Amino acid sequence: MVLRGKAMEPVGERGESLVDAAYGALKHAIRESVFAPGYQASAGELALRLGVSRTPVHEAALRLQEEGLVRILPKRGILICALAPHDIAEIYEVLIAIEAGAAELSARLPDAARLALADDLDRATSEMGQALAAGDLAAWGHADEAFHRLLVEGCGNGRFARIIQTVNDQSHRARMLTLRLRPRLPASEAEHRDTSEAIRRGLPGLAREAARRHRIRARGELLPLIESVGLRHM
């Protein structure tokens, strides 16, 4: 039983089950790269770190495997999954398809919900602008994230939100990397405004195309960047 690396937060005992606690702690640790991709842990080690027995860790690992964050190698251990450029490409295709659908749905919402959503989206976009002006990379990332999250959570289709959540969990680490790598922050604001404006005016086709164009352009910037830097896994 090897305990290398920094310690993890013991699970908090707040009503939630130990499985949920372990799931949350492990997911957070993976997102924040406490475990490097490719790291192979054992359930026993993780259980020790979290202060629970192996069972809840194992069950949490099952859930994480279902989401593609880890792989359980039979009789060998728990492998933290790495993302290859190919995976990023796949994830962008999911984003393009689902977010375009979400934008279209949003534009079909009843007036009140539609206008409220558009306002929320614009608020997030404005925050991006402020962050950009202040040169605050992290704030820009958060605001951008908020925009896209609002879009899929506001559209009314819970399955869309869930799918996006899954691929976002997978790509969070890569996102943090590429945010830093990008030579200049992309001019996403105008495209965000196109999307929110189409939603506000209740034009489904326009909204779909705006969301779609936005993600396609972002992909066109990101993938070559990753290739050029030669990132093999992240």
In the complex with its own copies, the residue whose CB is nearer, 220 or 229, is 220
119 binds, among its own copies, DNA, none (CB under 5 to 8 A by kind): none
The length of the chain, given as a count of residues? 234
CB-neighbour burial class of residue 72 (10 A; exposed 0-12, middle 13-18, buried 19+): middle
* 83, 36 Cβ separation under 8 angstroms: no
In the complex with DNA, the residue whose CB is nearer, 4 or 6, is 4
Q: Please name the amino acid found at residue 102.
A: A
In the complex with its own copies, the residue whose CB is nearer, 104 or 194, is 104
63 binding its own copies? (CB under 8 A): yes
101 binding its own copies? (CB under 8 A): yes
66 binding DNA? (CB under 7 A): no
Euclidean distance between CA atoms 128 and 186, whole angstroms: 11
17 binding its own copies? (CB under 8 A): yes
In the complex with its own copies, the residue whose CB is nearer, 132 or 207, is 207
Residue 168 phi/psi, 5-degree rounding, is -65, -40
18 binding DNA? (CB under 7 A): yes
Residue 230: partners with Cβ closer than 8 Å, 6 or more residues away: none
Residue 31: partners with Cβ closer than 8 Å, 6 or more residues away: 169, 172, 173
In the complex, the smallest distance separating the C-beta of residue 55 from DNA, rounded to whole angstroms, is 4
59 binding its own copies? (CB under 8 A): yes
| The one among 25, 34, 52, 132 contacting DNA by CB under 7 A | 52
In the complex, the smallest distance separating the C-beta of residue 2 from its own copies, rounded to whole angstroms, is 26
Q: Which residue from 51, 157, 171 is spatially nearest to 104, judged by alpha carbons?
A: 157
Question: Residue 114 corresponds to which tokens in the numbers above?
Answer: 């539609």
In the complex, the smallest distance separating the C-beta of residue 19 from DNA, rounded to whole angstroms, is 4
Measured CA distances, 114 to 3, 106, 148 (Å) = 51, 6, 15
Question: Residue 112 corresponds to which tokens in the numbers above?
Answer: 């009140």
45 binding DNA? (CB under 7 A): yes
For residue 8, the surrounding DSSP H or E stretch is none
80 binding DNA? (CB under 7 A): no
| Residues lying near its own copies in the complex (CB under 8 A) | 17, 58-59, 62-63, 66-67, 74, 90-91, 93-94, 96-98, 100-101, 105, 157-160, 163, 167
| Residues lying near DNA in the complex (CB under 7 A) | 1-2, 17-19, 41-45, 52-56, 58, 72, 74-78
